[in-house]
Structure 1
Amino acid sequence: MRLHPLRRPLMVYDGDCGFCRRWVARWRTQTGARVRYAPQQLLPLWLLGIRRADARRSVQLVEPSGRVTQGARAVFRSLLYARAPAVRLAARAGLLPGVRGLAELAYRQVARHRMAASRLERRVLRGARASSHRQVRWLFLRLLGGVYLIAFTSLGRQVRGLYGARGIAPVQELLDDLEPRLGKERLTRVPSIFWLTGASDRALVNGTRAGQLLALALVANVAPRASLAALWALYLSYASTGRAFLSFQWDVLLLETSAHALLVAPGGLRPGMGEREPSALDLALMRWLVFKLYFESGLAKLQSGDRTWRDLTAMAIHHETTPLPTRLGWHAHQLPLRAQKASTAVTLALETAAPFLSFLPRPLRLAGFWSFTGLQAGIAATGNYGFFNLLSAVMGVWLLDDHALARWVPEPAPARPTRAWRHGAKALVAAPLVALSLRELGARFDRPRNPPAWLDRLAQWAAPLRSVNGYGLFSVMTLERPEIEIEGSNDGVTWRAYPMRYKPGPLNRPPRWVAPHQPRLDWQLWFAALSSPPGWFLALLGRLLEGSPEVLALFESNPFPEGPPKMVRATLYKYRMSDRATRQATGAWWKRERVGLYVAPSMLSPDEPTPPNPFTGLHWPRAQA
């Protein structure tokens, strides 16, 4: 029973603990008068239903409903009453089962070692100081230009085979099909420069070369804002028309990062470090993007319900089933289960708890930077993910400050003050981006339940720009590794395989390291093996029957140099990594077993031997095992 019913939540803490008092003061600044705070020494705890031992061990939150929580859960529930929406959203994230468990573990450790935690806190705060970020911005833009250079160079090596007139998915055919249906809306629905230039092989190749030149301009700090805007528009032109082969999360991450970067890039032809210091809004936008990438990736894993993430066995499967593993990935797969579980737990911690370091004082942000950089280095060492790991690490530069870069980046001249109207103008431009980004994250918590109509219209308008996205790589683990082997034959008896450059094929060929280049056909074949044959795969077989040199260049070699085969088929295998004993005895890195036919033997129709579109004129018998 209570003598006085509570009208507001009451946080009970240990008033004799200076460390506790300091943290309570911080929470009070967030909640204001919405939550009462009182030391347990001054309260009749038995009237509140709290044991004295529990109050000494951890903070207690008593809510008007009578609900009593303690520890990290009490902290998160108290912050649900914070005035700032971002803090309330973070508190909801902290109450998710996986995140809450990690937070409770950390809370118990801190509570048991308050003196050590207090000394560490004082040292951290003593090292925190205001710093400029012009060198950070300068370095970030140079590195972002490097990512674009890699992206366009990688795409240029494949663009004719993927999108040319004799490629797998010709862009010009797509535009010809969409133009009468979209009419005047074609530029807003499918934003692409190829509506204006056409999508001939020359135009596609020249587009990648233009991207390389613009990327070099950004690296050289030549008109960085204009160069970045052109790079964003050009890459969007390919992504909008690229369909499956340009639909990876790092493709849209590059566009979203560029959209944010346009708001912070300095103007002018040769701006150097920039005359003005990045504003608080600039820092918030870029750090929010870092937070969003990692937190959404971790959140997707927790919300997916996937068993392997919950029992911490995901990494025991991941290295074997990842699309393009490396040799180090093979060795990582050999680690004992205890190490795999520890690796999974660290991954979840870095993607759920560590993202909040992005908004904390400088030393903790630096810890976040090194944590995220280490995570990306580990991912890159064990799998080929194109430019994803490099781009993610480049984004993390915004967790640094100029003091951290003083050894490597030249010191700029004193900054000029920024006028208030510039801050206001930038806030107006950034507002739609922020609103859509919060909408996307809030949707994962089913919030808001009834979004305003204007926000839905804004999201619909912005969707073709691919610059506000959700992230969540490998939220559900693939438990097996099916692989497709494409074969050709002239007699239906002797079949010769089309070897891929980087996918598992010959059992004694070790996994290859190809990143930051991304072989997009190799990647999409991994996805295709998980389902029935997609349309682009049938088009690929048609091009092989035609003997398209542009498509054949995507393979390691042409098994039919004398001319295209009369028929092709696709066989499905289940691959597994060998163990150390098998590799030492036989030299095999892989072992496989035949599952059956993925696509039955197929040939071009005799009455139309060279159809303009490989979807037509092909006989596709039903695949049988």
Structure 2
Amino acid sequence: MAVDILHTRNFFLRCMCGIYMFAFGSLYLQVPGLYGEKGILPAHTQLPNLKYPKQCFYDKLTVLCFSSYVGLNVSYMMELLTLVGTVLSFVGMVWKSWCTATLFFLLWGAYLSLYQVGQTFLWFQWDILLLEIGFLTILVAPVSRRAWSEYRPRNLVTMWLIRWALFRLMFASGVVKLQSSCPTWWGLTALPLHYESQCIPTALAWFMYKLPLWWHKLCVVATFIIEIPVPFLFFSPVRSHRIFSCYTQIFLQIMIIFTGNYNFFNLLTITLCLSLMDDMHLCYQHVKDLSFGFISYVKGTCSWIGKWVGFGILAYYTMAYFSLRVTPQGTIECSIAFNREEFDAWMSRAVPLSIAIGAFSLVITIAEALTSALFEVRGCLDRFGVFSTTFVYSLAAIIMFGISLVPYSVLDRPTNQRVWPVFQNFYEHTSDLQLTSAYGLFRRMTGVGGRPEVILEGANSLDGPWIVYEFPYKPGALDSAPPLVAPHQPRVDWQLWFAALGTYNQNPWLISLAYRLLSGQPEVISLLDPSSAWRDSPPKYIKASKYLYHFTDTIEGRESGMWWKRTREADYLPIFTVDHAPLVEYLRKIGTIGTMDIPATNQPLQQGLNTLRNFVDKLEPALVLWGLFITACAIIWAKGSTKPIVMYTTGTSRQKGGRC
């Protein structure tokens, strides 16, 4: 039975354009306040050789080094780059034939250029994941627009790389929770803390927090199952296993979207799940099995037996390792039935086993692709060309697989030490390109005892009154409902969450933020809530306190209308003034102030960027991004882009050409 993935690949490419559009668009809305010459972390400070563009590029690998060639300074060049990225990804999403390797190379190069100067505001796992998947998408995409609708056996190999990336992401995110020895994960009590203490929860998180403890524990068990054993089904020869594992991952990501704002990350993960699908499942292809009746019967029977054996094993070990039992009250009780030593022993076998399974699956996929290139393409020249191309892409897939083993195998140190030195050298020499990375989300659960929050306050007198700076998305005012802001990522609101986990000495960007607020910098003030105090005139003094926030309980919230309650824990940031000598000296030392960007000479282009900025700043960021997405979908619908079902049969040539 021949099942193709041509349309699945094409759908994946358009989805990747949508992800890029969200990523570039969200960053564009924040560039002046984050990276402007008088922003929180001026980008030009990351390019010391800016006067020598070629040397600068060799050092930092960013096209921002050539800002002077366009007649813009670095921050305006960042705006232009994010706008170009947004437009290109929008075009690729709407006009599918533009989704070529060239387009995705430009998108990947643009995002890498921004990442290289992004500093702490772009050092997130999803930004690194987007760079990795973005590079792999260059391999997945057709080379030319003409090849968009043509079958290529290499699709099997390149889409397999996406599947392997999804496996590493999910499996690592599951096992690091247990490797961290976090008592909340081992006690299955992490979810209530997660709903309350995650960076930017949604309103639904408040309601989910109220569910009974036995339900939260059961959901943690489901999370472990979806993230640890289920990803092994990605490589199962039984198609129903792959489809099942695909939808479990999608279900987990949708639940995360409902309860937390994680920008484009969950949408990107769902896009990766397309690597587990095929055209038949997406209703693009009807497949006829031309095997003889007996052979067809045997294949169907083996597939049916394999499907239920796999599901049975998964169910059995779930019951055994998590002691699932139904109580007389109708609840489901559970607990982890293994200890840390047993888990470590399992990991020492699971990591090398997963690598062996991945390697075997890749070899089988390459063999299938090369066989298809030899026997399903007519014409000597066409056959040679397709086979050669498939062979080259297979070599690239082997290299990418080998490089990925270096960061992935850190899950088990002995395995990491046994990785072939050639791949380790490849990884070291390509590390600046962010081709692959180690992942592992929510390693330890924060917020035990309450979620810490940094609250900035300003005053014109040391005696007060001290008036709070309100940010648009992070918890602050107790009666403000948790927002729904994804796929936009307000990066200052996010970093304030991380700042609360440490001290201000560990977060120099926060000191810069305080100085910019004291200076009344409009591009930084635009990152505040529109109703926040001090937007029109800066205060004379600024300080910060650390609070512990909790969700209100059901009755308390219903009666008071409050979503949060809080207690003050300690001072966080000492009182500063704009001319505070140690503050100014420190910021000069780290280069935040006292350094000059290159002058902008292209006044018409700069004026055009300013005009667009003045218009966009009046709009809600999430609405801007969803507006772009809805517009793209409306254009696609108006174009009537839905294609008729394609029918393939085993033994039928998928590519025509001259006969030998």
User: What range describes the TM-score normalised by the shorter chain of this pair?
Assistant: 0.7 to 0.9
Shift of 1:439: 2.0
Moved over 4 A (4+): 182-186, 414-418, 450-453, 606-618
Over 3 Å counting, the alpha-carbon distance change for 1:428 and 1:187 in structure 2 is farther
For 1:320 and 1:567, locate their aligned partners in 2 and report how far apart those are by CA, in whole Å: 31
Q: Quote the residue 1:327 is aligned against.
A: 203
For 1:374 and 1:327, locate their aligned partners in 2 and report how far apart those are by CA, in whole Å: 19
Shift of 1:280: 3.5
Deviations 1:233-280 (A, max 9, x none): 000111111011111111111111111111121111354333424443
Q: Quote the residue 2:277 is aligned against.
A: 400
Q: Quote the residue 2:225 is aligned against.
A: 349
Q: Secondary structure at the match of 2:417?
A: coil
Amino acid at match of 1:187: F
Checking the alignment, whether the CA contact within 8 Å between 1:496 and 1:559 is kept in structure 2 is yes
1:542 to 495, 504, 515: 515
Shift of 1:436: 1.3
Deviates more, 1:283-292 or 1:367-376: 283-292
Q: Quote the residue 1:363 is aligned against.
A: 240
Shift of 1:398: 1.1
Checking the alignment, whether the CA contact within 8 Å between 2:45 and 2:591 is kept in structure 1 is no
Deviations 1:468-497 (A, max 9, x none): 011111011002311011111111222111
For 1:426 and 1:562, locate their aligned partners in 2 and report how far apart those are by CA, in whole Å: 57
Q: Quote the residue 1:12 is aligned against.
A: none
For 2:7 and 2:156, locate their aligned partners in 1 and report how far apart those are by CA, in whole Å: 15
Over 3 Å counting, the alpha-carbon distance change for 1:607 and 1:463 in structure 2 is closer
Q: Quote the residue 2:86 is aligned against.
A: 212
After TM superposition, list the pairs within 5 Å mapping 1:300-339 onto structure 2: 300-339=176-215
Amino acid at match of 2:461: D
After TM superposition, list the pairs within 5 Å mapping 1:476-495 onto structure 2: 476-478=444-446, 479=448, 480-492=450-462, 493-495=464-466
Q: Secondary structure at the match of 1:308?
A: helix
Q: Quote the residue 2:401 is aligned against.
A: 434
For 2:282 and 2:420, locate their aligned partners in 1 and report how far apart those are by CA, in whole Å: 43
Deviations 1:43-102 (A, max 9, x none): xxxxxxxxxxxxxxxxxxxxxxxxxxxxxxxxxxxxxxxxxxxxxxxxxxxxxxxxxxxx
After TM superposition, list the pairs within 5 Å mapping 1:489-508 onto structure 2: 489-492=459-462, 493-508=464-479
Deviations 1:402-455 (A, max 9, x none): 01112699xxxx988663211221123233321111222222111142555443
Q: Quote the residue 1:551 is aligned against.
A: 524
Over 3 Å counting, the alpha-carbon distance change for 1:397 and 1:334 in structure 2 is same
Shift of 1:288: 0.9
Q: Quote the residue 1:196 is aligned against.
A: 66
After TM superposition, list the pairs within 5 Å mapping 1:456-495 onto structure 2: 456-478=424-446, 479=448, 480-492=450-462, 493-495=464-466
Q: Secondary structure at the match of 1:404?
A: coil
For 1:516 and 1:363, locate their aligned partners in 2 and report how far apart those are by CA, in whole Å: 31
After TM superposition, list the pairs within 5 Å mapping 1:68-467 onto structure 2: 129-176=1-48, 186-197=56-67, 199-219=73-93, 220-221=95-96, 222-360=98-236, 361-406=238-283, 419-446=386-413, 447-449=415-417, 451-467=419-435
Amino acid at match of 2:454: I
Are 1:568 and 2:536 an aligned pair? Answer: no
Q: Quote the residue 1:58 is aligned against.
A: none
For 2:436 and 2:32, locate their aligned partners in 1 and report how far apart those are by CA, in whole Å: 29
Over 3 Å counting, the alpha-carbon distance change for 1:609 and 1:564 in structure 2 is farther
For 1:408 and 1:483, locate their aligned partners in 2 and report how far apart those are by CA, in whole Å: 52
TM-score (ref. length: structure 2)? 0.70
Over 3 Å counting, the alpha-carbon distance change for 1:311 and 1:298 in structure 2 is same
Amino acid at match of 1:546: S
For 2:285 and 2:563, locate their aligned partners in 1 and report how far apart those are by CA, in whole Å: 42
Deviations 1:574-611 (A, max 9, x none): 00111101111111110000112110110122789999
Checking the alignment, whether the CA contact within 8 Å between 2:154 and 2:393 is kept in structure 1 is no
Shift of 1:561: 4.2
Are 1:601 and 2:575 an aligned pair? Answer: yes
Over 3 Å counting, the alpha-carbon distance change for 1:576 and 1:608 in structure 2 is closer
Shift of 1:614: 6.5
For 2:474 and 2:257, locate their aligned partners in 1 and report how far apart those are by CA, in whole Å: 16
Deviates more, 1:458-467 or 1:278-287: 278-287
For 1:280 and 1:556, locate their aligned partners in 2 and report how far apart those are by CA, in whole Å: 48
Shift of 1:386: 0.5
For 1:187 and 1:457, locate their aligned partners in 2 and report how far apart those are by CA, in whole Å: 22
Checking the alignment, whether the CA contact within 8 Å between 2:44 and 2:74 is kept in structure 1 is yes
Quick one: higher RCO (CA 8 Å, sep 6+), 1 or 2?
2
Q: Secondary structure at the match of 1:403?
A: coil
Over 3 Å counting, the alpha-carbon distance change for 1:592 and 1:281 in structure 2 is same
For 2:587 and 2:43, locate their aligned partners in 1 and report how far apart those are by CA, in whole Å: 12
> How well do the aligned residues superpose, as a CA RMSD in angstroms?
2.6
Checking the alignment, whether the CA contact within 8 Å between 1:604 and 1:617 is kept in structure 2 is no
Over 3 Å counting, the alpha-carbon distance change for 1:316 and 1:521 in structure 2 is same
Aligned residues: 484
For 1:243 and 1:518, locate their aligned partners in 2 and report how far apart those are by CA, in whole Å: 15
Checking the alignment, whether the CA contact within 8 Å between 2:14 and 2:99 is kept in structure 1 is no
Checking the alignment, whether the CA contact within 8 Å between 2:576 and 2:583 is kept in structure 1 is no
Amino acid at match of 1:517: H
List alignment gaps of at least 5 residues for structure 1: 1-128, 619-625
1:523 to 479, 489, 494: 494
List alignment gaps of at least 5 residues for structure 2: 287-375, 593-660
For 2:181 and 2:53, locate their aligned partners in 1 and report how far apart those are by CA, in whole Å: 43
Checking the alignment, whether the CA contact within 8 Å between 2:160 and 2:275 is kept in structure 1 is no
Over 3 Å counting, the alpha-carbon distance change for 1:483 and 1:448 in structure 2 is closer
